[in-house]
Amino acid sequence: MDEQQAKQRVEELHDLLNEYNFAYFVKDDPLVPDSEYDARLKELEELEREYPSLKTMDSPSQRVGGIVLDAFNKVQHKTPMLSLGNAFNEEDLRDFDRRVRGQVGDNVAYVCELKIDGLAVNLRYENGSFQRGATRGDGETGEDITENLRTIRSLPLRLREPVSLEVRGEAFMPQRSFKALNEAKIERGEEPFANPRNAAAGSLRQLDTKMAASRNLDIFIYSIADLGELDVATQADGLDYLDNLGFKTNGNRVRCASIDDVISYVNEWMEKRASLPYDIDGIVIKVDSLVQQEELGTTVKSPRWAIAYKFPAEEVVTRLIEIELNVGRTGAVTPIALLEPVQVAGTTVQRASLHNEDLIKERDIRIGDRVIVKKAGDIIPEVVGVVESERTGEEQPFSMPTHCPECGSELVHLDEEVALRCLNPKCPAQLREGLIHFVSRHAMNIEGLGEKVITQLFHEQLIADVADLYRLTKDQLTSLERMGEKSAQNLLEAIESSKSNSLERLLFGLGIRHVGSKAARLLAEEFKTMSALQSATIEQLVSVREIGKKMAEAIVLYFDNEEVQTLLEELSSLGVNLTYTGSNRATVEDSDSFFSGKTVVLTGKLEHFTRQEAKDAIEDRGGQVTGSVSKKTDLLVAGAEAGSKLDKAESYGVTIWDEERLKEELQK
């Protein structure tokens, strides 16, 4: 075969393999047995080896991965990747329809599509050839994940016509791939992914493309981002056109002539969603006519011509086997529901916080009950009620104990709190939890010392307080189960290096009531040394920005305690730094979170979190949440009905996210 003949054969093999691939991965209707596909692929690979100049990036041989990147490049989107406004019930849908008809008249049709629960991506094709694929990022700029996307078999590397266009779609992990992946992870002793969405995101963020290739991802394309010269008049036609080009679109779309039909479609899929082989989290409703879409336009955040109906959080029923009590670092005793393991929103749930006795009474939750479990914001499992009709009479009402389950001290309610607290500072549960907090990432950040090792050390009575950590010897560490020489050495080094942490880490780690990591930093910056802080008066403390009276009183009370004074002396003589060095500020510089060091404003109604939950989650990741928008604001999270803060943020050019985007980032 000469080069000319090879070139022709390579072209034939491209076409053949693309057709086989399309039939198998897009249409789910294979044309040939796998062995035939493999034989043709091998033939192509051999020709490409012999004539390297015939190997192109859109060759079917280019799907196996093998490239290892250093980092993902940033990609500026040609047109911003907006998000969608949400509808949570029929009324929201009717409001949307009224708004649409108010603007473009009554002659409106909608296209309803499944809202695939994966990752939005933008794909660029030139002359029919896949050029570049990027994540959504902040909507303006995403990351170049071309090499990973190339491994998705249903993503065409070459279109059936040599057109240039940009399309958008959702990359996702089918449930079957997810199950297999997690089983393999568990087998290897690794942490499984929480849900298919995270697994898809994690896979596309791998720098080694072989990893992504092994994950069996899939993709549905749902829109043309840049119509250019294309002659397409409606969303429905656009999807058909994408089909004809060889893209995988979702076949469950329906054109609806009225909002009543839309509502029927939504209700139908609410019932049927569990039967799909991939996760959906709602339905997307789009005005069909592109002329009308144009007329309706977009707000900063989202198009006015589309809306996402979000399914209510999945609820499942399981049995409440027992209520366990957990004593936290601050002595708060929390009842925890132990459940018969059950799948909810993609993960197995067997524990859920019941928060406090009032909540248990209010929901009349009894041991042995069949209970309804859902995940708040699809993240935190919660018992929302009981199935009373399934009671047998054997169920046992629950009351909180009067004494601490760990140390036997009497439990009290402080300052009309609902929480019951154990006030014994020597309570082993509190000490253990306090130690876990002390070594945690935002406190002393001692790598290798997690909950497990601390619990072991505590049980073996090798540590009773935080000073003991600095007295540990190698022999003591290696005496622990599953602790080798090397790990023990690493641990000792991590403990040693924590001695030079700047003051704020120690302050936060000590777990003084009301003193979070941010307050610890402000205090350290202000007072510079532990002894200056120890002798500070309430007046001096409250004069520090953001330090209130309650916190000031808690600080004075803490340092008044003789045992605390002894502990600090011990820490000092063990070589632990008690001064502010400003070199390793807790929570900010060393955190790899997106929020680290960023100033964030929350506005509008949040659906998935309370304000406080969102604030805590952002601050835990090193961000700062403030009340008003200024030029210094890095990010505004706008919930429903966001008002003037949104306008202001827009005028300052502040990055704006919807709640969905926040949720996405917090799940990372």
Single out the residue of 18, 83, 292, 603 in contact with ligand IVH (rule: CB under 6 A).
83
d(CA 433, CA 292): 59
Tell me phi and psi for residue 130, to 5 degrees: -65, 120
Q: Could you say whether residue 304 binds ligand IVH (CB under 6 A)?
A: no
As a whole number of Å, the end-to-end CA separation of the chain is 52
Using the rule CB under 6 A, give the single segment among 113-121, 189-197, 311-319, 472-480 that binds ligand IVH: 113-121
Minimum Å gap between C-beta 80 and ligand IVH is: 9
Single out the residue of 110, 178, 193, 222 in contact with ligand IVH (rule: CB under 6 A).
222
Evaluate the CA torsion angle 466, 467, 473, 476 in order and state its sign. Answer: negative
Minimum Å gap between C-beta 224 and ligand IVH is: 11
Single out the residue of 109, 111, 116, 379 in contact with ligand IVH (rule: CB under 6 A).
116
For residue 233, give the nearest of 284, 292, 306, 159 by alpha carbon: 292
- Catalytic residue at 115? yes
* Secondary structure string (H, E, C) spanning 384-423: EEECHHHCCCCCEECCCCCECCCCCCEEEECCCCCCEEEC
Q: Could you say whether residue 223 binds ligand IVH (CB under 6 A)?
A: yes
3-state secondary structure of 544: coil
Minimum Å gap between C-beta 269 and ligand IVH is: 12
- Binding track over 267-286 against ligand IVH, x by CB under 6 A: -----------------x--
Query: Bridge-partner residues for 143, per DSSP?
Result: 74
Minimum Å gap between C-beta 250 and ligand IVH is: 7
Beta carbons within 10 angstroms of residue 655's beta carbon: 17
Q: Could you say whether residue 170 binds ligand IVH (CB under 6 A)?
A: yes
Q: Could you say whether residue 516 binds ligand IVH (CB under 6 A)?
A: no
Which ranges in 3-89 belong to alpha helices (H)?
Answer: 3-21, 34-50
- Comparison of 299 and 343: residue with beta carbon closer to ligand IVH: 299
- Binding track over 28-57 against ligand IVH, x by CB under 6 A: ------------------------------
Using the rule CB under 6 A, give the single segment among 88-96, 174-182, 303-311, 556-564 that binds ligand IVH: 303-311
586 token code pair: 């807790």
Using the rule CB under 6 A, give the single segment among 259-267, 302-310, 336-344, 522-530 that binds ligand IVH: 302-310
Cβ distance 82 to 296 under 8 Å?
no
d(CA 235, CA 253): 11
Using the rule CB under 6 A, give the single segment among 111-119, 205-213, 528-536, 598-606 that binds ligand IVH: 111-119
Q: Could you say whether residue 218 binds ligand IVH (CB under 6 A)?
A: no
Q: Which of the following is catalytic: 55, 74, 78, 115?
A: 115
Minimum Å gap between C-beta 223 and ligand IVH is: 6
Q: Could you say whether residue 120 binds ligand IVH (CB under 6 A)?
A: yes
Pairing outcome for strands 411-413 and 396-397: unpaired
d(CA 151, CA 210): 8
Q: Could you say whether residue 155 binds ligand IVH (CB under 6 A)?
A: no
Minimum Å gap between C-beta 379 and ligand IVH is: 17
Pairing outcome for strands 366-367 and 396-397: antiparallel
Cβ distance 200 to 177 under 8 Å?
no
Q: Could you say whether residue 307 binds ligand IVH (CB under 6 A)?
A: no
- Comparison of 386 and 656: residue with beta carbon closer to ligand IVH: 656
d(CA 365, CA 359): 9
Cβ distance 217 to 172 under 8 Å?
yes
What percent helix, strand, coil does the chain show, rounded to 5? 40, 25, 40
Cβ distance 107 to 247 under 8 Å?
no
- The interface with ligand IVH within residues 387-416 (CB under 6 A) comprises none
How many whole angstroms from its chain centre is CA 391?
37
Q: Could you say whether residue 84 binds ligand IVH (CB under 6 A)?
A: yes
- Return residues touching ligand IVH (CB under 6 A): 82-84, 113, 115-116, 120, 170, 222-223, 284, 302-303, 306, 308, 660
The catalytic residue positions are 115
